[in-house]
Structure 1
Amino acid sequence: MRKLVVTENSTIDGVVELAGGWFSPGDTDPDVDRSDVLGALEQQRNAADALLLGRASFEDMRGYWPKRTDDTTGISAYLDSVNKYVVSSTLTEPAWENTTVLSGSLRTEIEALKAADGKDIVTTGSISLVRSLIAEGLVDEYRLFVYPVVAGKGRRLFDGATGVPKLRLVEERAFTSGIVLLRYRATAGWLPDRGFTGSGAPTAR
C-alpha cells in the first residue's frame, strides 16, 4: 500500500496559505542558505512517483513552473516528469504532460491510487483538497516545513475541521535557515471530543 503524504510550508502560527504572497524554499536571498532544505525536498521527490493536487493549485503550478527555464532547484523538471493527478469535477483538458484528472468519488479514486504499485503519493498546497483527505482519513503522513515567520492571519491546515487525527512525531529536523521540518505519522483514531462524524479514520502505521 502506497503512502499518501501531505507536505506543506507553514508559519510558526500554523498558516499554510498566505494572501498576496508565499514563502518558498527556492527563494534566492543571498544571505540565507537553503541548500539543506532543497536537499530534503529532493529526498522527498526521490521517494515519490505521484503528485496529487486540487484544481486551483494545479493551474497555478501549470502557469508558473513550465516557464521557469532558469530553475536550478530541480523542481521544474520534476513537475514536468512526475505523474500528476488532479482532483476536479470541472477540468477536462489538463494541458500538462503526465496529468490525469480524477473526477469520481474522492475516497474511491484515492484508495485506488494507494492500492496501485508505486512509491509515495505527495500532495502539496491544495488546502481544500487536503482538508477533504484529512476528513476521509486518507492521509498517512504530514511533513510540515515550518518557517520562522508569524503570519497573524491566513488559512490553516485544520481550520474548520470537525475531527483531528491522532499523530505521532517521527522526525524533527532543523535547517541552517531556521526552517524546521516536522514529520508526523497518522495513527489509528481521532482526538477525542471533536464530534467527528466523517466516513474515514486513519489506520495504524
Structure 2
Amino acid sequence: MRDLVVTENITLDGVIDASEGWFNPGDEDLSDVLGALEVQREAADAFLVGRQTFEDMRGYWPHQTDDPTGISDYLNAVSKYVVSTTLQDPQWEHSTVLRGLDEVEALKATAGKDIVATGSITLVHALATAGLVDEYRLFVYPVVIGKGARLFPGTSTPATLQLVETQPFRSGITLLRYRT
C-alpha cells in the first residue's frame, strides 16, 4: 500500500491559509527548501489535490518556461489526481479526476511510490477525517497569524503523531515530518 503524504506550508499557530502574505521564503533559504522538496518529489509518483487548487495550478505552472526551481517540470510530468465531483475534463496532461475518497483509497492500494497532497485544505481535512493520511510534512514558518484556515481544526486532528524528522533551514523555516 502506498503512503499518502500531506505536505503543507504552515505557521507556528497552525494556519495554512497564505492570504495574509506570510508565505514568502527568502532567497537565502530558497535553495535549502527546494532541496528538501526535491527529495520529496523523488519519493512520490502521484500528486493529489482538490479542484480549486488543481485549477489554480493548471492556470499557472504549465505556462512557466524558465522555472529554475524544477517545479513546473515536475508538475507537468507527474501523475496528477484531482478529487472533484464537478470537474469534467482536467485539460492538463497526466491528470485524472477522482470522484471521491473511495477512489483515493483505491489509488493508495495500487503499486507505486508516495502520493503527495498539498494545499487543498478542504480535501486534506476530509483525508484526515477518513484516516487516509499516513504522514504530514510541514514546512513551519516562524510567524504567528492568529486567523485563517488551520490544518487541524477541531476533530480532524489525528489522535497521535510521531515525529520522524526535523530539518531546520537558515531562515528559521523548519521541516517537520510526522507519521500518523
Shift of 1:58: 0.3
Of 52, 55, 58, the match for 1:56? 52
Question: What residue is the counterpart of 2:129 in the other structure?
Answer: 135
Shift of 1:12: 1.1
Aligned CA RMSD, in angstroms, stands at 1.5
Alignment of 1:26-175 (within 5 A): 29-30=26-27, 32-103=28-99, 105-106=100-101, 108-161=102-155, 164-175=158-169
Aligned length: 180
Give distance in 1, aligned partners of 2:115 and 2:156. 25
* Greater relative CO (CA pairs within 8 A, separation 6+): 2
Alpha carbons 2:127, 2:133 under 8 Å: kept: yes
User: Normalization by structure 2: what TM-score?
Assistant: 0.94
Question: What residue is the counterpart of 1:14 in the other structure?
Answer: 14
Alpha carbons 2:22, 2:143 under 8 Å: kept: no
Give distance in 2, aligned partners of 1:87 and 1:164. 22
Give distance in 1, aligned partners of 2:77 and 2:141. 28
Q: Provide runs of 4+ in structure 1 moved above 6 Å.
A: none
Bigger helix share: 2
User: Normalization by structure 1: what TM-score?
Assistant: 0.83
Could you tell me which runs of 5 or more consecutive residues in structure 1 were left unpaired when the two chains were aligned: 187-205
Q: Match for 2:179: what amino acid?
A: R
Shift of 1:163: 5.1
Give distance in 2, aligned partners of 1:64 and 1:20. 21
Give distance in 1, aligned partners of 2:156 and 2:75. 33
Could you tell me which runs of 5 or more consecutive residues in structure 2 were left unpaired when the two chains were aligned: none
Give distance in 1, aligned partners of 2:56 and 2:78. 16
Alpha carbons 1:55, 1:91 under 8 Å: kept: yes
Shift of 1:158: 1.1
Query: Could you tell me the percent identity over the aligned residues?
Result: 66
Give distance in 2, aligned partners of 1:18 and 1:115. 32
